[in-house]
Chains A and B, each alone.
Chain A
Amino acid sequence: MSHAATQGSAHVEGQQHPIKLYLIIWFWLFVLSTCSYLVDYFHFEGYLRWFLILLFMMVKAGLIVAVFMHMAWERPTLIYAILVPPVAVLVFVGIMVIEANYTLLTRLNFFFPGS
């Protein structure tokens, strides 16, 4: 394979983006991690805590996948092939929430009858 062809394939298959973009994302990941740490540090409780933790988690995950892993520049074929199957995990979460609640109920009935 000639040198030109090699470079051509690097351009077709490779991903090149300005370093500045990575530094910006890096900075935001630091900020978001600090935010999620502060959620614990300041003892936010209840739904606010859950909401903030999940929000920072999803934004961080999105930035990593989209920019660091270059998903934002891939064709929809790859994006959907990789990102749609994990939806099944969410269904699994739903099933296990129901199951866990049921287990808890039977345990409470068994260990603390009449309460």
Chain B
Amino acid sequence: MRLARQGNDEAYRRLLGHVSVWLRSVARRGLTSAGRGTADSEDIVQETLLAMHLKRDTWDETQPLEPWLRAIARHKLVDHLRRCGFRDHVDIDDFASSPEAAVDVDASVTIDTRRLLASLPERQRRIVEEISLEGRRAADVAARMGMNESAVRVSLHRALKALAALYRSDRR
């Protein structure tokens, strides 16, 4: 995270990769201990990653990263369970301490994000898709869409914020 703040994309990508593996096991066990199926786990992983990304300025560099991550994960897991009508207390400390328990989820493509993505404004949706699905750089997207690169970046940031808000308001 420190490297990522200094401008290292690769470090940030690696960090997010590790964190999603860890989140996956946290989400699965959280859902199981709440007596729910693990079908939603990838949605929780994505929602939490998004929150962690958007709220990364609330991490204090002088503090260890893990408690902060755990707090975000707990908040999002509780939030998700509440939205599904679960009102009991959840304590992730019981099972959040073993991050190496990886789960293979290669196949679980979430339908949810795609559905939420569809409700974004057309241009924002296209930018997110070009960058995430097609793996293009912001500069290339800008050229393809006839936009200024910084406008693409601003639009991407807004889209991510909107996506986080959509997750929050999504009740099933």
Asked if A pairs with B, the answer is no
